[in-house]
Structure 1
Amino acid sequence: MFLISTRHFVGIVRNATVIKSCLHRFCDKCLNECLRSGIKECPSCRAVIGPKRSSLRRDETFDKLVATIYPDLERYEAAEDERIASANTPKRLHHDGNPMSPSGKRAKATAQVGASVKILHSELEKQSRALEESQEETQLAARIGQSLLLQKQQLDYEMEDKVSAVGY
């Protein structure tokens, strides 16, 4: 999911950074602030983050996915802030249930926004799962490649031993 909630920030992940030990991703700024404050574990699962920066890595693929979904992220976040502010203001307008009154229009607009958010949320979750599956497949392929390389090296050593035993 794109939204992260740690003790520090809530929002869309920017400059995604992956914790290698558990593969959770967070905003680089958020994660660095956690580390500077002495929290040396994943904010989601509490897996220990290694002492070196090498235990983290940037996730540019995830950043590209966010940029594709939110091409104008600043404008989107400004609109979200405005929606939140308007939702938190007291409603003193016509509460007569008339769909043409200002409160009726607002209720209809709020329902439409809510439906749009649900659709976007569902789509984001699908894309996030697809990305995670792709990363898992890549990691599996890398492990298989390493295993094959080790097997080849072992066969090479065995071949050298047999050749030297024969006397060539």
Structure 2
Amino acid sequence: METNAPTGRPFWLGNTEREIFSKINWIDYGYFYDLDHKWYYVIPGPFRIKLPLELVKNNLDKAGYEFEYRRKLEDELLKYILDEYRCTYSDFNEFIKKEGYDLEKVFKEIQCDGKLSMYELFSKYHKIFAYFDDWVFIKSDDVYKDITEILVKKKGDAHLETCSW
């Protein structure tokens, strides 16, 4: 999508991701035109999940909705955080141990309808959520069909814009 108005309607302009999305309340999703001149789909929530708009478009259900895909994405993100990220980043693994979390129990307690739930993690294990920057960036393959990388960052003193990740 090589345009600066995907819906033809006005949108917020700002200097940072947080500045723009702090002005938008009570939405199911937002569009974000970034410095790389590409459109992104942003899922607000405990984590603001930014992914290529084309990836969402190419994963709509038969009725043309993205909500089933979003639920699958949320499940993949949480599995990544609690498994792959934990195994890759020893700081996070130490944090999990220090807090005394039993990951088998965490997995069970944040499941809803067979998938991991972001809101269950946020409400039951807020410290795990609070460990991370509130933005997540999803990368895709060249044809925008599959996820190739999930990027999460440990919370730092200042948020680094996802275009720099």
Under TM normalisation by the shorter chain, which class is it? Answer: under 0.3
Task: Normalising by structure 2, report the TM-score.
Answer: 0.23
Q: Larger relative CO (CA 8 A, sep 6+): 1 or 2?
A: 2
User: Which of the two has greater strand per residue?
Assistant: 2
Task: Normalising by structure 1, report the TM-score.
Answer: 0.22
Structure of larger gyration radius: 1
